[in-house]
Chains A and B, each alone.
Chain A
């Protein structure tokens, strides 16, 4: 298994540009989440999904959209990038089941710089 993969690893955008951060997992996990991590801080939840076709907002959803058309993929879209969205973005997935759903597996991250 490749686990959780993210692309790209690094991206530079200009203010107002749009882009999609890709996330895929091959573990057949139902739960998937997107977090952002700013310097010296913990991760903050942006959006999450409890299964294909179902998404919900986290702590900091503004400026981001998500969709979950398949179990494997959970892309994060920035419609109009702003400098405040400069951050490292982590995707995570976890299985469903008592005692297991909370064990989240994280991808390697995408470093985004918005100029």
Chain B
């Protein structure tokens, strides 16, 4: 069945290092992907998105890479800061699905000072 999953449930990095969070998806028809950040006790917060006709998209300190060949998505955070500590989710939308986001399990990022 369709699924969006993450390789690692936890990731610990040193402050100032770069972080890479990975996500695998199984539905080749998915055409839109989003990364969300969720801090403890809060709702998910949009970080960055990418369409399936793109391989890379950059934001402020964040980059999303999409490899459609192996159905893999990654989120790179440059110069990771303590405020980046949170759970990160990838999510996908397929076609004309409107508000139907399919979320992955999540990766907890812990930044050590």
Contact = CB atoms under 8 A, between A and B. Distances in A.
Interface of A: 4, 31-33, 35, 40-45, 48-50, 58-59, 90, 92, 94, 101-109
Interface string B31-65: 01010000001111110010000000000000000
Contacts of A42: 4, 89, 91, 103-106
Q: How large is the interface on B (under 10, 10 to 19, 20 to 34, 35 or more residues)?
A: 20 to 34
B99 A44 contact: no
Interface of B: 4, 9, 32, 34, 41-46, 49, 89, 91, 93, 98-106
Contacts, number: 69
B46 A103 contact: yes
Chain A interface SS verdict (over half): strand
B103 A104 contact: no
